[in-house]
Chain A
Amino acid sequence: MSTNMKFLVVDDFSTMRRIVKGLLNELGYNDITEADDGNTALPLLKGGNFDFLITDWNMPGMPGLDLLKAVRGDAKLAKLPVLMLTAEAKREQIIEAAQAGVSGYVIKPFTAATLKEKIDKILASKAAA
């Protein structure tokens, strides 16, 4: 799996962005950009050739679910792997994210192993597609 992949990490809490960035660094991914909500993330995605999006759900401005829908609705971004990393744990929310086309869903608090496993699984299924 290439570690030259370009990640966008979207979360309104700067601590969580640093944590995810640190974990990605440990996994060998070093090209990481940060955004604090969907409104900031979407223009970056449209102009940035990102390979992977990791987004929180609950954010002021544009929440993660709306960002996911915008990504899936954009012809150029529609196939982008999107991992939702969120504290939203209601059954109906997870279903809603799945219906919107999320590639993976991890509930906070999470472990480094879960994050790695989920990223690997999403990339493997993308490679197989």
Chain B
Amino acid sequence: MSQADTLGRYRSHVADLAGALDANDEAAFRAAFERLRGQLNIELNPELKRITADALSALRRFREQARLEVLADQEVPDARRRLAHVVKLTEEAAHRTLDLVEQSSPLIDRMALEAAQLLEEWGLHGSRQLAVNSMWPERANESLERAVRDSERVRRFLSQMLLAQGYQDLSGQIIQAVIRLVMELETVLGQLVSLAQGEDTRRMPVLKLDSTQPMPVQDGSQGAGPHVPGVGTSQIVSDQDDIDALIASVGRP
């Protein structure tokens, strides 16, 4: 049916409606209106039936696909719990490392201090001891000097180990962003399953939250987390000089 045919039919109905209005004839208006509605039904019903049939077919396929339910009820929530557990494990490991660094630091400090004190005493009384034993005091002197140097190196290594534990913060932020996504997926899947089962999704809880896991709300001031190569299109500034220049260019301290 051409568009001109369709419009011609509606023009006729509209003319009947306008004529009834002009004549102030309610019965004629109602009759013209019913004819128009009938015309609309003739044209829209097949499309509505097709859409309804497609929707019912899709829902039937959903019901038949048990995998969706398993995903929604078990596997996606498990994935979220696994990720949260990874954050917990890395946090515990990082804290254990920090404990050991903090316990080691005073030991190495004491070792360095005592070696330095002995060297100082050796400097004061070295010649007298050298007279008693010509070999041993010289070896002891070298060993003490090495202990002072090595203690300083170990101190620097411990400081670097301390800083390296920052991976837990960065990886934790990235994993938490994935957890938020998985939670959204969990909700959508749950609602799809409920829809397929004929439940009223308006009564569903928005999210099944594990109250022990923080879920930051993502708005403009919240931040986006660490930059991940290949993710996002924003311009990243990571060089400290560039950052300082950018801060200075804005004109505040």
Please count the residue pairs between chain A and chain B whose beta carbons lie under 8 angstroms apart in the complex.
133
Residues B169 and A91 in contact, CB atoms below 8 Å apart: no
Distance, CA A87 to CA B252, complexed state (A): 21
User: For the complex, is A46 an interface residue (Cβ under 8 Å from B)?
Assistant: no
Residues B169 and A15 in contact, CB atoms below 8 Å apart: yes
- Taking CB atoms, residues of chain B closer than 8 Å to A98 are 246-247, 249-250, 252
- Taking CB atoms, residues of chain B closer than 8 Å to A19 are 98, 162-163, 165-166
Residues B95 and A91 in contact, CB atoms below 8 Å apart: no
User: Chain A: how many interface residues by the 8 Å CB criterion?
Assistant: 47
Residues B252 and A90 in contact, CB atoms below 8 Å apart: no
User: Chain B: how many interface residues by the 8 Å CB criterion?
Assistant: 42
- Taking CB atoms, residues of chain B closer than 8 Å to A89 are 226-227, 236-238
Distance, CA A114 to CA B173, complexed state (A): 22
User: For the complex, is A51 an interface residue (Cβ under 8 Å from B)?
Assistant: no
- A11, A66, A90 — most chain B CB neighbours (10 Å): A90
Answer whether A58 and B224 are a contact pair too, CB < 8 Å, given A18-B95, A112-B163.
yes
Residues A107 and B238 in contact, CB atoms below 8 Å apart: yes
Distance, CA A107 to CA B173, complexed state (A): 14
User: For the complex, is A2 an interface residue (Cβ under 8 Å from B)?
Assistant: no
- A19, A59, A112 — most chain B CB neighbours (10 Å): A19
User: For the complex, is A60 an interface residue (Cβ under 8 Å from B)?
Assistant: yes
- Taking CB atoms, residues of chain B closer than 8 Å to A106 are 240, 243
- Taking CB atoms, residues of chain B closer than 8 Å to A92 are 234-235
For chain A, residues 25 to 53, give those with C-beta under 8 angstroms from any C-beta of chain B.
26
Residues B224 and A90 in contact, CB atoms below 8 Å apart: yes
Residues B166 and A93 in contact, CB atoms below 8 Å apart: no
Sample of 15 more A-B contacts, CB < 8 Å, known A15-B91, A64-B223, A103-B253: A15-B165, A16-B168, A18-B165, A19-B163, A19-B165, A58-B173, A86-B223, A91-B236, A91-B237, A94-B247, A98-B246, A107-B243, A108-B166, A109-B163, A112-B163
